[in-house]
Amino acid sequence: MKKNTNVDIIDVAIKAGVSPATVSRSFNHPNKVLKSTRKKIEKAIFQTGYIRNRAAQAIQGKRSGTVGLIVPTLDNAIFSNLIQAFSVEMRKHGFTMLVATNGYDLNDEYKLLRSLLEHRVEGVALIGHDHSEETYNLLDIRNVPVVSMWNYKEESKISCVGGENKEAGIEIAKHIISLGHKKIAIAFPNVKENDRARDRQIGVIEYLNSKNICIPEYWNIKTEYSVNDARNCAEELFKNHPLPTAIIAGNDVIAKGIIYAAQANGLNVPGDISITGIGDFSSSESSFPSITTVRMRPNKVGVKAANVLLERINGDREAEPIRIKVSVEVKARESTKLITN
Amino acid sequence: MKKNTNVDIIDVAIKAGVSPATVSRSFNHPNKVLKSTRKKIEKAIFQTGYIRNRAAQAIQGKRSGTVGLIVPTLDNAIFSNLIQAFSVEMRKHGFTMLVATNGYDLNDEYKLLRSLLEHRVEGVALIGHDHSEETYNLLDIRNVPVVSMWNYKEESKISCVGGENKEAGIEIAKHIISLGHKKIAIAFPNVKENDRARDRQIGVIEYLNSKNICIPEYWNIKTEYSVNDARNCAEELFKNHPLPTAIIAGNDVIAKGIIYAAQANGLNVPGDISITGIGDFSSSESSFPSITTVRMRPNKVGVKAANVLLERINGDREAEPIRIKVSVEVKARESTKLITN
DNA sequence: AATAGTTATGCAAACGTTTTCATTTCGTAT
DNA sequence: ATACGAAATGAAAACGTTTGCATAACTATT
């Protein structure tokens, strides 16, 4: 078997009886070359086993045919869905995807971004809005087309596609109301420093208020963003105050802690009390009881983000960020139930 | 803000007061350049905001710093784990990963492989052993370092890392025996055309035989590889023959069909009958009852496959395929239980 | 049949590195 | 001090494309 690694565009050109320029054009501007010539070239490509060298193309500084994606981890069903959708959509447009995982480390993310730029990706997709100053700086200086997937943010510096935290709050509140609950507690982390948590909380409270439900102070749990602290805070509530029929937690981790607290206090979830999270972590589906939560629509977000990125790649690089809101969906699971009494 | 895309190695060289050759060497053979010179270069890189151009490096034909991965889909927890492990390990060695999904279409896989080769990946990872003739051919002709992840195959043409189907059969049989079952049926697709199914079946039968358990012909279900056919075949068994206490299915899809059949016939799973699959599809964990199955160890496989690929990339390209067996693990879930009577 | 306009192709100069070979610089043994 | 080998650096020729400009081959118009 002939081992062949080195056939180049010139070999193809000779075989086809044309110049290298024409072969190149038949790839990049097929309409600029005569159909009959194209046929000859295709035949020559087949006969020689030629495979185009994108590196040599990329060196011209125009196109590399790749986009980069930096994601915290792949070990997560939602990221997987998101990436899958994004990847398929990009490929439809002729792009191959370079993927890197940063393990939620922003410093590492910066390094990965540099590495992707070394490969001259034509655009970059990131997750969320938590990025280092260095990262934003680099994106800006090199004027890289970029899109953030996951959550919508009104004042984001870069284009973004995703769900809105306030809407997530509204939706979960709506769900709890639709199950007939009236005695409702909430559990949020410190919303001063965390705009995601704040927006969610605002959504929840505004919706409840609109249904004439108010949260007394002793049903307004303030907790750290950790299973243990949430558990302790909830135990305090169970011991010292009247029992609500539902608790809306600011995220799934807190919900988990509250469920532990409830179970430890002999309460059945959802029999005695319904508990909800927001965000849908991978463990929320398989924990017991599985946690009712609200999540983004990863497929929609992936596809739309790809299109936003393509628009930035092909269009005006100085334009204002494009921001697209994608509605969120409530995932009703075992931790909530209809109120019957 | 100065928008800067065009600083090259020459600008850096000038700023540092050295030649481009030295700058290049400081990247690729840092020990060949004086420490003090390196410092000057690093400073110049920082000041100019230089980002190395891998395309220009790749064009030399030696290194591109990328490897390719083709996977059927990312919408699958096991693939995600596998990819994550593989990716992290490759990155440790300075590689960035190009990922493409083929949606289980072998033709598409070939196209994706071509596309990856256009980007001059230094190696390629694939899933399993089902690849088109064209794919194998191309890999061979271009002499691409390649590794197949997922399952071990004695006579594979390419290097592979993964679990062994016979062992999977043995392990699930062992599990069923350990639960005390004696009246055991099996359900496999046509094993003539499918060596994976055949190996699994051999593992099951040999192990059962070694425990002095034989499968009468009416407990040896032959089914298509589909939920519906499995269901029909199982119903036939339930109606016309004595009931076993356990059924070992050749894969999770068949197991699913059998569970439906059991439920339709008023049998409780696992109360009246235990049912197992092999392979762990994404739905097997969340179906009701969740299916006991046997699966590969994706993290182990990913890491080992990365190392095999690195060995091929850095080592002898004419060497025989490297084949590594990774043990499989039984995932005990709700569809099986200890026999009590 | 001559001319202008269009379309298809070829020529050759980039693109930004890496690497071989040659040269210079340095340290060390005499 | 001198000579020698080793280490560090530089000069220049690749690597395989793409593309602006020039030319050649057609088409359509008169």
B251 and B138 inside one domain: no
Residue from the list B2, B56, B99 with its beta carbon closest to the beta carbon of A87: B99
B316 and B222 inside one domain: no
| Residue at A319 is within a domain | yes
Looking at the structure of chain A, the number of domains it has is 3
Identify whether the C-beta of residue B146 lies closer than 8 Å to the C-beta of residue B126. yes
pLDDT on residue B341: 61
| Residue at B58 is within a domain | no
The model's confidence at residue B5, banded by pLDDT at 50, 70 and 90, is low
How does pLDDT run across B216-272, given as a tens digit for each residue?
999 999 999 889 999 999 999 999 999 999 999 999 999 999 999 999 999 998 999
What's the Cα-to-Cα distance from B243 to each of B44, B216, B256, rounded to whole Å?
79, 12, 18
| Residue at A336 is within a domain | no
Of A231-245, B2-16, B166-180, which range is least confident?
B2-16
| Residue at A157 is within a domain | yes
How does pLDDT run across A205-222, given as a tens digit for each residue?
999 999 999 999 999 999
List CB contacts of B125: < 8 A, sequence separation 6 or more: B67, B68, B69, B70, B86, B146, B147, B148, B149, B305, B306, B309
Residue from the list A1, A87, A99 with its beta carbon closest to the beta carbon of B87: A99
Q: Which of A99, A143, A290 to mutate to test the interface with B (most CBs of B within 10 A)?
A: A99
B195 and B282 inside one domain: yes
| Residue at A318 is within a domain | yes
Mean pLDDT for chain B overall? 92
| Stated length of chain B | 341
Distance CA B87, CA A303 (A): 23
Q: Which residues of B touch A57 (CB under 8 A)?
A: 55
- Bridge partners (DSSP) of residue B295 are B329
Three-class SS of residue B162? Answer: strand
Q: Which of A46, A96, A98, A110 to mutate to test the interface with B (most CBs of B within 10 A)?
A: A96
Identify whether the C-beta of residue A251 lies closer than 8 Å to the C-beta of residue A225. yes
What's the Cα-to-Cα distance from B240 to each of B218, B219, B235, B285, rounded to whole Å?
9, 11, 9, 31
Interface of B with A in 258-317 (CB under 8 A): 285-286
pLDDT at A164 over 60: yes
Domain range holding B192?
165-295
A158 and A221 inside one domain: no
| Residue at B141 is within a domain | yes
Distance CA A32, CA A23 (A): 11
A219 and A302 inside one domain: no
Residue from the list B55, B65, B99 with its beta carbon closest to the beta carbon of A64: B55
CATH code at position A139: 3.40.50.2300
Identify whether the C-beta of residue B211 lies closer than 8 Å to the C-beta of residue B240. no
Mean pLDDT confidence for A45-64: 90
B268 and B228 inside one domain: yes
Interface of B with A in 34-93 (CB under 8 A): 49, 51-59, 64-66, 73-77, 79-81, 83-84, 87-88, 91
Interface of A with B in 133-192 (CB under 8 A): 140-143
Residue with the larger pLDDT of the pair A3 and B165: B165
How does pLDDT run across A100-141, given as a tens digit for each residue?
999 889 999 999 999 999 999 999 999 999 999 999 999 998
pLDDT at A3 over 50: no
| Tokens 């100019």 found at | B48
Q: Is the CB of B55 under 7 A from strand D?
A: no
| Residue at B241 is within a domain | yes
A146 and A87 inside one domain: yes
List CB contacts of B16: < 8 A, sequence separation 6 or more: B23, B37, B40, B41, B43, B44
A113 and A26 inside one domain: no
A185 and A288 inside one domain: yes
A153 and A235 inside one domain: no
CATH code at position B44: 1.10.260.40
Looking at CA atoms only, how far is residue A270 from chain B in angstroms? Answer: 19
Looking at CA atoms only, how far is residue B266 from chain A in angstroms? Answer: 25
A236 and A319 inside one domain: no
Q: What is the percent of chain B with per-residue pLDDT over 90, rounded to a whole number? A: 79
| Residue at A61 is within a domain | no
Long-range CB contacts for residues A108-111, cutoff 8 Å, separation at least 24:
A109/A70, A109/A135, A110/A134, A110/A135, A110/A138
B107 and B150 inside one domain: yes
pLDDT at B284 over 80: no
Mean pLDDT confidence for B100-126: 93
Q: How far is the CA of B183 from the C1' of D15 (A)?
A: 69
Q: Is the CB of A29 under 7 A from strand C?
A: no
How does pLDDT run across A227-259, given as a tens digit for each residue?
999 999 999 999 999 999 999 999 999 999 999
What's the Cα-to-Cα distance from B189 to each of A252, B198, B218, rounded to whole Å?
42, 9, 15
pLDDT at B335 over 60: yes
